[in-house]
Amino acid sequence: MHSSDAVREGLIPLLPRLRRLARALAGQAADADDLVQVVLERALARAAQWRPDAPLDKWVFAIARNAWRDEMRTRGRAQHLFAPEESGAAVADGSDARHAQQLELAQALAMLPPDHREVVALVLVEGLSYDAAAALLEVPVGTVTSRLARARAALQAHLGNDA
């Protein structure tokens, strides 16, 4: 099987995980959807660069991380968080506490520095081990540990002690 065929077939089962990672990195659904599209395009265009002996998910996640960093550089500033359009549909409905919690969490994640948000996305959202996240980010495991500790502290400070 040609590497481009293997990448194409391997991307399908990765889509839910890629979407979760993109949402954790981008914060907003529209930005996450755009990021997923960019990642898929880049992965398919660069399929020949993937080594079949390397895990496809880690290669795709690295593309996602780099694509998001490219986007942040292009914007030239930190992303401002605005309430997603879909959150306006339930403004009059005070019973949707879960939606409010999700919005508050998205706001708290968006306030994290990008390197902390990446670690949260990889370790807490995607469930990668500290070692795997460190390898993907090309940093020591201690750096992943300290970024995650600072991210957790910032999230707790924003969300309250019951987070």
- Residue 159's domain is classified under what CATH number? 1.10.10.10
Q: Both 108 and 162 in a single domain? A: yes
Beta carbons within 10 angstroms of residue 92's beta carbon: 6
Question: What pLDDT, on the 0 to 100 scale, is given for residue 147?
Answer: 93
Whether residue 114 is found in the same domain as residue 73: no
For the entire predicted model, the pTM comes to: 0.62
Closest CA to 72 of 112, 130, 123: 112
Domain containing residue 44: CATH number: 1.10.1740
Are 105 and 145 part of one and the same domain? yes
Torsion sign, CA atoms 136, 137, 140, 143: negative
CA atoms of 48 and 158, how far apart (whole Å): 43
Check pLDDT > 80 for residue 144. Answer: yes
pLDDT at 82 over 50: no
- Hey, CA dihedral for 141, 145, 147, 151, is it positive or negative? positive
Tokens 């979760």 belong to 20
Residue 78 clears pLDDT 50, i.e. is over it: no
Q: Are residues 67 and 105 in the same domain?
A: no
For the record, the structure tokens of 153 come out as 């502290």
Region 2-22: mean pLDDT is 88
pLDDT category at 37 given cuts 50, 70, 90 is very high
Question: Is the four-CA dihedral 99, 33, 5, 48 of positive or negative sign?
Answer: negative
Residue 10 main-chain phi, psi, to 5 deg: -75, -20
